[in-house]
Amino acid sequence: MFALVLIAVVAGALAQRLAGLGFGLLVSPVLVVLLGPFDGVMIINLCGAASSLLILSRVWRHVSWRRYLGLAASALTGVVPGAWLASHAPEAPLEVCIGALLILGLLASQRLNRSDWRVSGPVPMVSLGFTSGLMNAAAGVGGPAITAYAIVTRWEQKSFGATLQPYFVTTGLSSLLSKYLFSGGHLPALEGWHWLGILAAMVLGIVAGDLLSGRVRPGVVRRIVVAIAYAGAVSTMAKGVVEMALG
């Protein structure tokens, strides 16, 4: 089971390095199914923040700090209710909600990607930033809402991918801290060597992404990530439905 966790982390870190996002989309369904929705998403929050921090040094000069500040402030208002939900909801319904949120987020971002609709100003930043923070804390998947923001504002890919890294550091760590406080100090029950293995898997994925950067188009990576995310979301929902039916 832990080998599957490590494979998912390598794939998520690789996608994050090549496309700017994808860690939560790839890893969330796997860890939720294997470790449960609360522990799984806590690990995703921590690992997502860590992988983005490792990538940040490589893309620092392309970060739009003005947009980062606006999106991060908006997301933090969504992190608190998302963390409360993750800490208090029963496990099986939470799995169903995580799968449904992931599917809805993916569908919305894909729909917008085929649209010529364009907006600007604080409203899309605040609303989609809030949604991203809520989904990141509750399900570990803040990427679709921020992708939707990038699409409707026609944000250039290089700046968008770079700015996501400090953004995911902020939302990941704030989600982790909020859930730790709401749950009364609960932490995933992993051994020290488990954490070392996860860290090594993240570094391996990022290094592989460095080697492939420039050789693989980010659009190709995003399509692969979305396809895998859909499959994972369906499996997560199915697990929750079965548990609700049996229990």
DSSP string, 33-78: HHH-HHHHHHHHHHHHHHHHHHHHHHHGGG--HHHHHHHHHHHHHH
How would residue 90 be classed by pLDDT, with cut points 50, 70 and 90?
confident
d(CA 148, CA 158): 16
d(CA 82, CA 58): 30
Out of 16-25, 42-51, 78-87, 204-213, which region has the weakest mean confidence (pLDDT)? 16-25
For residue 24, give every residue at least 6 positions away whose Cβ sits within 8 Å of its Cβ, in sequence order, or none.
12, 44, 48, 136, 139, 140, 141, 142, 143
Highest mean predicted confidence (pLDDT) among 4-18, 112-126, 162-176: 162-176
Six token digits for residue 23 = 């860690």
* Helix, coil or strand: residue 105: helix
Q: Domain locations in the chain?
A: 2-246
* Helix, coil or strand: residue 213: strand
Longest dimension (CA), the chain: 52
pLDDT the model gives residue 75: 96
Query: Whose CA is closest to 55, among 213, 197, 176, 198?
Result: 213
Is the pTM higher than 0.85? The answer reads no
pLDDT the model gives residue 148: 81
Amino acid at 43: I
Q: Tens of pLDDT along 99-155?
A: 887 788 778 777 776 767 677 778 889 998 999 999 889 888 887 788 888 888 888
How would residue 12 be classed by pLDDT, with cut points 50, 70 and 90?
confident
